[in-house]
Copies of this chain bind each other. A is one copy, B any other.
Amino acid sequence: MKDNFKFRHRLRVRWAEIDRQGIVFNGHYLTYFDVAITEYWREIGLPYPDAVTGTGADLYVVKTGIEYHASAEYDDWLDIGVRVARIGRSSMTFDVQIYRGSEHLITGVVVYVAADPATRKSVPVPARLCDAVCAFEPVDPRGTA
């Protein structure tokens, strides 16, 4: 796996995640992304959902994209690299890459928007999230988004 991810999470493909083609069903990668992003938040000291408690904001997925370069199979160990690529006023973009050993299987993106849970109107990304991410790794400055 290339060394451009400061954070990686490892998991093993489950039997129930394999479909009739003998490969991981295409939708389960979004579960893997979610698991790895959960661990990213924990790693930087802001386990979700405590990270947003009291901020008046929650994070909602507004966009996902996956490119499938090769198929993961039953029992494979997958290394999931996660990085915050960009923080905007109210959005955060995660880049995700999945490797099986040195083989690059999946490229993904998950975009979240910070919103008021009651109204679902977008609000600024809570400062504590920005601060923790930027303390962990270089991210495009917030103002440019």
Q: Is A20 an interface residue (CB 8 A)?
A: yes
Please report whether the interface of chain A is mostly helix, strand, loop or mixed according to DSSP.
Answer: mixed
Q: Is A139 an interface residue (CB 8 A)?
A: no
Do residues B16 and A64 form an inter-chain contact, with CB atoms below 8 A?
A: no
Do residues B65 and A64 form an inter-chain contact, with CB atoms below 8 A?
A: yes
Q: In the assembly, what is the distance between CA of A14 and CA of B29, in Å?
A: 13
Count residues of chain A with CB under 8 A from any CB of chain B. Answer: 36
Q: Which of B19, B21, B68, B110 is in CB contact (< 8 Å) with A62? A: B68
Do residues B65 and A65 form an inter-chain contact, with CB atoms below 8 A?
A: yes
Using known A-B contacts A38-B15, A75-B47, determine if residue A58 contacts B21 with beta carbons closer than 8 Å. Answer: yes
Q: Is A26 an interface residue (CB 8 A)?
A: yes
* In the complex, the 3 A-B pairs of residues with the closest C-beta atoms, listed nearest first: A27-B30, A26-B61, A18-B20
